[in-house]
Amino acid sequence: MSKITLKPFLILCVLFTLFLTSSAQSCANHKFPINQIFSSCNDLPHLNSSLHWNYDQSSKTVKIAYRHTGVSSSRWVAWAVNPKGQGMVGAQALVAFQKSDGSMRAYTSPITSYQTQLQEGDLSFPVSDLTATYSRDEIVIFATLKLDNVSSTLNQVWQDGPVSGDVPAMHQLTGSNVQSMGTLNLLSGVTETTKGALNSNTKKKNIHGLLNAISWGILLPIGAVFARYLKVFPSADPAWFYLHATCQTLAYVIGVAGVATGIRLGNKSPGIQYTAHRIIGIVIFCLATLQVTALLLRPKRDHKYRFYWNVYHHVIGYSVIVLSIVNIFKGFDILNPEEMWKRIYVGILIGLAFVVAILEVYTWIVVVKRNKSESSSNEKISNGTYGYDGYATRRQGIV
């Protein structure tokens, strides 16, 4: 390769390196107005945020500037220190948003529960010089904190959410909004996200979603397919019933495990509620319990109430299937997993629908042929075609 050929390649490499360097040091490149200079900064891993600070170790004072970019004028932002632990409850927050009259409001808010509306109040440490600015879709909070009883390693939380009527409203409970927490060492500048508890809860959420998707979302419809279509084949009787009962029982047992996981998650996250998802889940559990008991209490085929039991059993069964599919998609919206998982589940539903369509057509063909055959047989019997010497019916008629 000649030198002439190498030159463009080297130029591209240099430009690419400069781009990566500038991207990695975006907070260091930011210039604040009014000659405000901060010796340390860190790009926070979520919500387009960065923190700039000057820390005086002798006086335990830290001057901060919290930048939140890509935010509209109808949203609030907050940065907080949690002296008691990790997470939202116990955090001492600095909140800012633009009011409807165009002015900025910046205030302190101690967070005592998940159901907070970020009410104004004094923090557990002194705060001074608290101001905020909004310009070019960027809110910046400036403040000076006196952290006498807090070590140089802080538990920090940052957040954003909508503003309604000049009052902060609830932020989203999925994605980056539940990952925006971690630790910050004011001396070294090292930032670490809080992975332990977060990953534990995320794993439990994924287990909860997986168990419910397999039980109510897959096994239950498959059991219904067995019940409706296998009985068409005479050789499958009574195997179809056992397959149906096995699928329904497995779906119920696995679903109960999924419900138990969801209850444990709810107990560990007081104040975080998904009302529609929870109510539908309770209804599904109650109806599924009725279905399982129905398998044990069903009347015999020749019982006078068997027809009504069949109607009841089918209505409950199809209701559980429809509600389960709806609730699984609500779960996807809550967990916000990779799009691949939703596509896989949609693919499974489409595959089941395709199988059901084929079996439905085949069932009708078999039923029509069977009805014609039975009709023909009855007609021949009524005409005396069958019997001893072909005259059995006539002789009975004479007798």
What is 253-287 written as a DSSP string?
A: HHHHHHHHHHHHHHHHSTT---HHHHHHHHHHHHH
Does the annotation place 208 within a ligand binding site?
Answer: yes
Does the annotation place 30 within a ligand binding site?
Answer: no
Place of tokens 């010796």: 39
Structural tokens at position 284: 């599904």
Does the annotation place 277 within a ligand binding site?
Answer: yes
Amino acid at 219: L
Residues near 294 by Cβ (< 8 Å), separated by ≥ 6?
309, 312, 313, 316
42 close to 191: Cβ distance less than 8 angstroms:
yes
| DSSP 8-state assignment for residue 44 | -
Identify the H or E element spanning 378.
helix 339-382
Does the annotation place 314 within a ligand binding site?
Answer: no
Mapping DSSP onto H, E and C, the string for 71-111 reads: CCCCEEEEEEECCCCCCCCCCEEEEEEECCCCCEEEEEEEC
d(CA 133, CA 318): 56
Q: Which residues are annotated as a binding site?
A: 208, 244, 277, 313
Q: Which residues are annotated as a binding site for heme b?
A: 208, 244, 277, 313
